[in-house]
Amino acid sequence: MRGRRPLPTVATIVSGRVGLAVARRLASSLVQVDRAAASPVAVLKLARPPANSLSLEFMAEVRLSLAELEADPEVCGVVLSSSNPKIFSAGLDLKELVDPDPVRLHAFWTEMQTLCQSLFLTPLATVAAIHGHSPAGGCVLALTCDARVMREGGPRIGLNESALGLNAPWWICNLMERAIGTVKSEQMLQRGSLVDGTEAAKLGLVCSSAATSDEVDALVAKHMKEMLAVPNSARQAVKAQRRQALGDAMKSGTAEGSDWFVSRVTSPEVQGPIQAYVASLKK
């Protein structure tokens, strides 16, 4: 039966015309959704080995999984986590950026923007459980959530795009600025800084940190419990009000943002460092 109907193309995924049931067929192994019976909280685990790097199809599936949870009247909150205890997400899949097809690259960045808009504006309560590394795109996903808890010790978080020769677009920088303020975000962004959980909590980049994974999970549950203790309609109204201005600006800048991204990434000054970096990884 599966073969009878053509799989949706990237273009139809991105434009949102794909039914959820169909979309789940695409890559359902890349996202793991756990639901305890009778719990209003789902756990959405990023599960794309080895490092949860963000490809077009992976991001589309995350977004569609979120849409499924939003459509479920019993779900009020989502914990965004990773099936890999050492890596939350390594950020953009560099394969998407090396010698790219401009049409796919445009769809890729449109999906990144659309996913982040969906996460930022979802009426569900969201908490990122950051047990592992969370650089660049991984940090962006975490910043779209209502709260962030990070494990201390090993993993590092930050928007380190500039260290790779790229500059993060304005809305990603604004997501960091709303968490840690203007000057501190500007400084981290200029330097491509990565910090550990203790420092991230001190800066406000995450809400709290803990030494063990169990303690992280306990803090995540506490954040979620506090949010869900509030009547849903009021909590959602607060979230919508506080995020409307930035959310509207993000949405209205999507097309321009994808054009900018394609132009920037395909330029020699960005392709050079990326190709050199990927070559160094292969060695």
| Upper half-sphere CA count for residue 47 (Cβ side, 13 Å) | 14
84 catalytic? Reply is no
Residue in 77, 132, 137, 197 annotated catalytic: 137
Among 7, 103, 211, 238, the residue binding its own copies under the rule CB under 8 A is: 238
Comparing CB distances to its own copies, the nearer of 84 and 113 is: 113
Could you tell me the CA-to-CA distances from 274 to 161, 164, 270, 271 in Å, in that order?
11, 7, 6, 5
As a whole number of angstroms, the distance between CA 81 and CA 189 comes to 24
Among 15, 190, 212, 213, the residue binding its own copies under the rule CB under 8 A is: 190
* Cβ neighbours for 64, distance < 8 A, ≥ 6 positions apart: 13, 18, 20, 23, 24
Q: Which of residues 43-102 bind its own copies (CB under 8 A)?
A: none
DSSP 3-state assignment of 165? coil
Residue in 46, 54, 69, 92 annotated catalytic: 92
137 catalytic? Reply is yes
Residue length of the chain: 283
CB neighbours of residue 260 within 10 Å: 14
| Candidate ranges 11-19, 44-52, 224-232, 249-257; the one touching its own copies (CB under 8 A) | 224-232
Among 7, 11, 103, 230, the residue binding its own copies under the rule CB under 8 A is: 230
Residue ranges in contact with its own copies by CB under 8 A: 125, 146-147, 161-168, 170, 173, 177-179, 181-187, 189-193, 204, 207, 226-227, 229-231, 233-235, 237-239, 241-243, 269, 273
Enzyme catalytic residues? 92, 137, 160-161
